[in-house]
Amino acid sequence: MYDKINLLDAVGGTPIVKLNKIVPHDSAEVWVKLEGQNPTGSYKDRMAVSVLENAIKRGDVKTGERVVEYTGGSTGTSLAFVCSVLDLKFTAVTSDAFSKIKHQSIEAFGADLVVIKSKNGNITPDLIQKMKIKASELAKEPQTFYADQFGSSDVIKGYEGLGKEIVDQVGKIDVLCSAVGTGGALMGTYNGIVISGVKPKLIALEPSQSPFLTTGKGGAHKVEGIGLGFAPPFLDKDKLDSVKSVDQDKAFDMCRLLAREEGLFGGGSTGLNICAAIEIAKEIGPGKKVVTLNCDTGLKYLGSHIYT
């Protein structure tokens, strides 16, 4: 349908790097896929392209119509970016618990924001519920398409390319681990790896302050995009080998260390992913490969509690 080359063609095809300095020598290798290099600086660009291109193909949304989603900001920024390229309008339901830079990015792409107030800037299950209710209300309006980042099967499909790229770049891998919000990135990436003929162990990660997967109960925390306090809709427990929780403060310390030592500048979920990947690499030992994701760029978190 889109025969002309546009910025959507710049989504994906990201580099992968091996961490050289902060992983002990008697550990497995830790490889990180640099998803912060997508056009809006997040792996969410992949799902936004998949959801909206497929919706247009099916006739679920047409040029000039509105797309609605509730989002902490990364998904919102990616949807706003893709909507601008595809001549769609976009409204993001978000909250002041998420970084201001993400809100400004959404607006920069010409989208509208509906901001729900949080209690003390914390991401809580109650806040996510309020955002969801508001988005459902807006989605009932005419000529409005609900992107449905928590339900659309196009979300998982959008990440299959990520998994295929990993196998093309590093070959056989032993473990894939990543933090989950919807679980779309982890499962889609895993599916892409399996389609390419490799079957790593699959480990889902969460902040220990919101340990829904390990204890059944969510909680207040400050790692944007993950630990939402309900079952990640795309997480297929049958494919999962284990779940690890990581303390958020260790994740934020890791963000700062990563930037200083490895030159890798990521957000809180990236720091959390790398804390866990290094722990796993120590456990499984040399001669093996652990792969995780740099979910987004640290630029989105400048001026926040991670990079003050």
Ligand X SMILES: Cc1ncc(COP(=O)(O)O)c(C=O)c1O
Residue of 39, 76, 158, 183 that binds ligand X (CB under 6 A): 183
Could you say whether residue 192 binds ligand X (CB under 6 A)?
Answer: no
Q: Which of residues 285-304 bind ligand X (CB under 6 A)?
A: 295-296
Residue of 27, 118, 248, 269 that binds ligand X (CB under 6 A): 269
3-state helix, strand, coil in the chain (%, to 5): 40, 20, 40
Could you say whether residue 191 binds ligand X (CB under 6 A)?
Answer: no
Q: Binding residues for ligand X, how many (CB under 6 A)?
A: 18
Decide whether 180 or 278 has the Cβ nearer to ligand X.
Answer: 180
Could you say whether residue 35 binds ligand X (CB under 6 A)?
Answer: no
The DSSP code for 123 is B
Residue of 35, 45, 165, 224 that binds ligand X (CB under 6 A): 224
Gap between the Cα atoms of 151 and 182, Å rounded: 9
Q: Which of residues 73-132 bind ligand X (CB under 6 A)?
A: 74-75
Could you say whether residue 69 binds ligand X (CB under 6 A)?
Answer: no
> What's the min distance (Å) between Cβ of 155 and ligand X?
7
List CB contacts of 241: < 8 A, sequence separation 6 or more. 201, 202, 203
Could you say whether residue 272 binds ligand X (CB under 6 A)?
Answer: no
Residue of 267, 277, 281, 290 that binds ligand X (CB under 6 A): 267
**Whether 54 contacts 71, CB under 8 Å:** no
**Cα of 173 vs its chain's centroid, Å:** 21
Could you say whether residue 184 binds ligand X (CB under 6 A)?
Answer: yes
Decide whether 186 or 288 has the Cβ nearer to ligand X.
Answer: 186
Q: H helices of 69-183, where? A: 74-86, 100-108, 125-139, 153-158, 160-170
φ, ψ at 67 (rounded to 5°): -110, 140
β-pairing, 89-95 with 29-34?
unpaired
Residue of 226, 254, 278, 281 that binds ligand X (CB under 6 A): 226
Residue span binding ligand X (CB under 6 A) among the ranges 62-70, 178-186, 210-218, 244-252: 178-186
What would the two tokens of residue 159 be?
């990440």
Gap between the Cα atoms of 213 and 217, Å rounded: 8
Residue span binding ligand X (CB under 6 A) among the ranges 25-33, 138-146, 179-187, 214-222: 179-187
What three-state secondary structure class fits 221?
A: strand
- Strand 89-95: give its sheet, edge to edge: 112-116, 89-95, 66-70, 144-146
Residue span binding ligand X (CB under 6 A) among the ranges 23-31, 107-115, 130-138, 176-184: 176-184
What are the residues binding ligand X (CB under 6 A)?
A: 72, 74-75, 179-186, 224-226, 267, 269, 295-296
